[in-house]
């Protein structure tokens, strides 16, 4: 991750604020850090974040291996963003909405599961 940031800076590219916020959220959730996870969210959402919810999502993330980083793939209207979180053994779609103050107002993390090819028997 440090090499990615350094090479982006060397090319004069700045990471979008949404990507930085998503990266922080993913790192805190991955580590099971409830307090710091809650601090990234607006007051309404913050009340719904529990140790159990963070730990459940952390377990799913850790099953994908080491967290490698996140990349913004789309910036939509109303401060909505689609990002891809990369892990050693797969990736996850991250859909995030930020409020006007830059706090996370919504976060959906969807694991990409391998495609299963079913063969029909005739």
- pLDDT of residue 8 exceeding 50, the answer is no
**Residues 3/4/6/12 CA torsion (nearest 10 deg):** 160
Is residue 11's pLDDT more than 60?
Answer: no
CA neighbor of 100 nearest in space, from 20, 17, 25: 17
Q: Using an 8 Å Cβ cutoff, are 93 and 72 in contact?
A: no
**Which residues make Cβ contacts (< 8 Å) with residue 66, sequence separation at least 6?**
87, 88
The 10s digit of each residue's pLDDT in 20-35 is: 999 999 999 999 999 9
57: left (phi over 0), alpha (psi -120 to 50) or beta: alpha
The domain defined by 15-111 folds into: Nuclear Transport Factor 2; Chain: A, (3.10.450)
Domain ranges within the chain, ordered by starting residue: 15-111
pLDDT of residue 106 exceeding 50: yes
Asked whether the predicted pLDDT for residue 40 surpasses 80, the reply is yes
pTM: 0.81
């Amino acid at each position: 991750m440090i090499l990615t940031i350094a090479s982006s800076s060397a090319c004069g590219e700045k990471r979008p604020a949404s990507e930085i916020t998503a990266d922080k959220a993913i790192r805190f959730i991955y580590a099971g850090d409830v307090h710091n996870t809650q601090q990234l969210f607006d007051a309404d959402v913050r009340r719904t974040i529990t140790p159990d919810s963070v730990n459940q999502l952390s377990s799913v993330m850790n099953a994908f291996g080491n967290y490698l980083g996140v990349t913004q793939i789309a910036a939509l209207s109303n401060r909505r963003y689609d990002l891809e979180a990369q892990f050693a053994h797969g990736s996850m779609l991250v859909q995030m909405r930020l409020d006007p103050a830059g706090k996370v107002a919504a976060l959906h993390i969807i694991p990409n599961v391998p495609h299963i090819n079913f063969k029909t028997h005739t």
